[in-house]
Amino acid sequence: MPSTPVLDRTSPTWDVVIVGSGPAGAATAITLARYGQRVLLVEKRGSPRFKLGESLPPTSIGLVKHFLADPDGPEQQLPGLFNTAGNVSLWATGQADITDFFFTSTGHGLCVDRLAFDEALRTTAVAAGATLLRGVGFQSCARIADGSFNWQLTLSSGAGTRQHRARYLVDCSGRPAVVARSLGVPTVPNDDRLFAYAQWFSCTSADDDRYTRIEAAPHGWWYSNRLPSTEGSETRRLVVWHTDKDLPAAKMAAYRQGFEQLLDDSTHIAPLLRARGYHPCGTIRGAPANSQRLRDFCGDAWMAVGDAAQAYDPLSSQGIDKALRTASHAGHMIHYALTDCPQGGAGLDSRNAYVQQYDEQQRQLWQAYLSQRDYYYGIQPRWPDQPFWQRRRLLANEATG
């Protein structure tokens, strides 16, 4: 850990600095700012880049509305979201299994356009009173003893570096977990090498399909969903191939010809694309999709939230739901801890009851996630001789062993 720095008492001061402004960071900022905490939300990127879409079940809709809907306004389509009718999966067998959301309390699920959705959350955070800095990266942090402040942070941008002081520090930087790693907190070793390769498709004709589609294959599995679109624009669809990064199918998927070859072998996604006249657009993008968690979820005056704390296999369809739920919990626990300890660091360590409650919740969520992940991979019995599926059985055995 860095040595105690020379204090810059002219630097801006905050109750909480949140590194990362994705769903977890923005939702944590919204929660804390609504309580009146002075929140700085730091976003490394000056402009948005690509984000893979995600499907949310009906049970997540109330949570999304909690953060984005105007409680006093009329019911309306929320930004970056598209209603889905259910799930169609070819998983345990070669026959389609349909889950229809019509019979749920909301009647639909959600498909998320991440760029628009994330921006809507950031806008809400600023409206709630948080300060957002774009194009500013986390460089380092060091503990200080300066009245009620526990941290001095160095943040960098194109204009140079600047120091900030904070009572509490939150890592919402996603899988890189830059704050936790700067504090010497490692991820727990595991042999999960899942990687996602995404290709966007577009067509000029109408596509009335509102189902999330999942399909198992010998070397991995497919995900596809129609995406939200503006009036008059082309219809867009996201198709994602999931496999282990070291397998030959991963090398194929990184290039259009190989991706299309893999896709042609799919049972129902490729025919759907052909029937509606879809053609690929843009480049294939890749992103880690493996299960991952920190050794420690929180400590003295710091906490990791969202994917920085623990990241899930997309098969769980829990990424955004988990980010929002744990952000809400983290925001409440941090507010209570700060309120109980107005004079600073002594009461904000890992022994704080609120910090311990958050830590325990994270550990329970991780165990529940592993059980669910292993169950869904375990009920897919086909291709038992293929490395991708053999590894899933091995991961399940390690988790229970």
pLDDT in tens, 302-318: 999 999 999 999 998 78
Task: Output the CA–CA distances (angstroms, integers) from residue 316 to 92, 176, 368, in the order listed.
Answer: 16, 20, 11
CATH number of the domain where residue 133 is located: 3.50.50.60
User: Quick one: 279 and 309 in the same domain?
Assistant: no
DSSP 227: P
Cα–Cα distance between 71 and 62 in angstroms, integer? 12
Q: How many CB atoms lie within 10 A of CB 332?
A: 17
Helices and strands (H, E) in the chain, number of each type: 10, 20
Q: What is the pLDDT of residues 130-180, one digit of tens each?
A: 999 999 999 999 999 777 789 999 999 998 999 999 999 999 999 999 999
User: Quick one: 158 and 142 in the same domain?
Assistant: yes
User: Quick one: 186 and 203 in the same domain?
Assistant: no
Q: Is residue 322 part of a domain?
A: yes
pTM of the prediction?
0.92
* E strand spans, 79-227: 81-84, 86-90, 97-100, 109-112, 131-134, 137-146, 149-157, 160-171, 194-203, 211-217, 220-226
pLDDT score recorded for residue 347:
63
Q: Is residue 401 part of a domain?
A: no
pLDDT score recorded for residue 152:
95
- Under 8 Å between Cβ of 395 and 344: no
User: Quick one: 372 and 316 in the same domain?
Assistant: yes
- Under 8 Å between Cβ of 139 and 160: no
**Burial per residue of 7-43, b for 16 or more beta-carbon CB atoms within 10 angstroms, e otherwise:** eeeebbbbbbbbbbbbbbbbbbbbbbbbbebbbbbbb
Q: Is residue 64 part of a domain?
A: no
User: Quick one: 107 and 217 in the same domain?
Assistant: yes
User: Quick one: 35 and 146 in the same domain?
Assistant: yes
Q: Where is the domain boundary, 254, 288, 322?
A: 288
Which of 329, 296, 300 minimizes the C-alpha distance to 310? 296
Residue 72, φ and ψ in degrees, nearest 5:
-100, 0
Decide if pLDDT at 397 tops 60.
Answer: yes
Nearby residues of 174 by Cβ (< 8 Å), 6 or more positions away:
20, 22, 306, 307, 308, 311
Q: Where is the domain boundary, 288, 310, 327?
A: 288
Decide if pLDDT at 8 tops 70.
Answer: no
Q: Is residue 390 part of a domain?
A: no
C-alpha neighbours within 13 Å on the C-beta side of residue 63:
21
pLDDT score recorded for residue 5:
56
User: Quick one: 44 and 135 in the same domain?
Assistant: yes
User: Quick one: 221 and 97 in the same domain?
Assistant: yes
pLDDT score recorded for residue 74:
47
Confidence of residue 205 (pLDDT cuts 50, 70, 90): confident
Decide if pLDDT at 42 tops 60.
Answer: yes
Q: Where is the domain boundary, 261, 288, 315?
A: 288
Q: How many CB atoms lie within 10 A of CB 327?
A: 28
Cα–Cα distance between 76 and 37 in angstroms, integer? 29
Q: Is residue 261 part of a domain?
A: yes
What is the three-class DSSP state of 44? coil
User: Quick one: 45 and 125 in the same domain?
Assistant: yes
- Under 8 Å between Cβ of 312 and 291: yes
**387-400 vs 353-378: helix axis angle to the nearest 10?**
140
CATH number of the domain where residue 237 is located: 3.30.9.100
Radius of gyration of the chain (CA): 22
Residue 62 tokens read as: 């109330």
> Which domain range does residue 258 map to?
73-112+193-288
Q: Is residue 2 part of a domain?
A: no
Q: What is the pLDDT of residues 346-377, one digit of tens each?
A: 567 777 899 999 999 999 999 999 999 999 99
Above pLDDT 90, what percent of the chain?
72
Cα–Cα distance between 253 and 285 in angstroms, integer? 10
User: Quick one: 259 and 157 in the same domain?
Assistant: no
The angle formed by the CA atoms of residues 80, 84 and 86, to the nearest 5 degrees, is 150
User: In which residue are the tokens 């829990």 written?
Assistant: 318
The angle formed by the CA atoms of residues 59, 290 and 32, to the nearest 5 degrees, is 50
Confidence of residue 122 (pLDDT cuts 50, 70, 90): very high
User: Quick one: 278 and 354 in the same domain?
Assistant: no
Higher pLDDT, 220 or 94: 220
Decide if pLDDT at 281 tops 70.
Answer: yes
Amino acid at 172: C
Residue 211 tokens read as: 């189902």
Number of domains in the chain: 2
pLDDT score recorded for residue 229:
67
Confidence of residue 71 (pLDDT cuts 50, 70, 90): very low
- The bridge status of strand 235-244 relative to strand 220-226 is antiparallel
Question: For the chain, what is the mean pLDDT?
Answer: 90
Residue 95 tokens read as: 């026959």
Question: Which of 24-33, 52-61, 378-387 shows the lowest mean pLDDT across its residues?
Answer: 52-61
User: Quick one: 100 and 136 in the same domain?
Assistant: no
